[in-house]
Amino acid sequence: MSRHGASFPGRRDPEGYYVILARKDALELIPKDLEVIPTGDYLMVRSKSRSRIVAFAKLLRRKGLLLEG
C-alpha cells in the first residue's frame, strides 16, 4: 500500500469526482482526460477515475505543483 493509505485522494465532490488542487503553473501538464476548473489562485483537477487522479497527483507532487493540506 502507498504511504497515502486508502484515503488519498480523500476528497470527492457532490457529483462523485475525485478532486485535487494544483498550482496554476501545472495547467500545461494536465492531460485532456482530466477536468480542470480554474479557481482563484489554484486549479481544481477532477476525475471519476481514482487511479488517474492518484497518478497525476504523484506527478504533481514530484514537480512541487500539488497543493496539499
The set of cell numbers assigned to 34 is 482530466
Task: Render pLDDT for 11-33 as a digit per residue (tens, 0 to 9).
Answer: 789 999 999 999 999 999 999 99
pTM of the model: 0.82
Higher pLDDT, 69 or 31: 31
| Residue 4 clears pLDDT 70, i.e. is over it | no
Contact residues for 2 (Cβ-Cβ < 8 A; gap 6+): 8
* Mean pLDDT rounded to a whole number for the chain: 88
Instruction: Look at residue 68 in the predicted model and tell me its pLDDT.
Output: 83
Please name which of 15, 10, 49 lies closest in space to residue 31, comparing C-alpha atoms: 49
Higher pLDDT, 17 or 8: 17
SS3 (DSSP) at 15:
coil
Grid cell 483537477 in the structure block, residue: 45
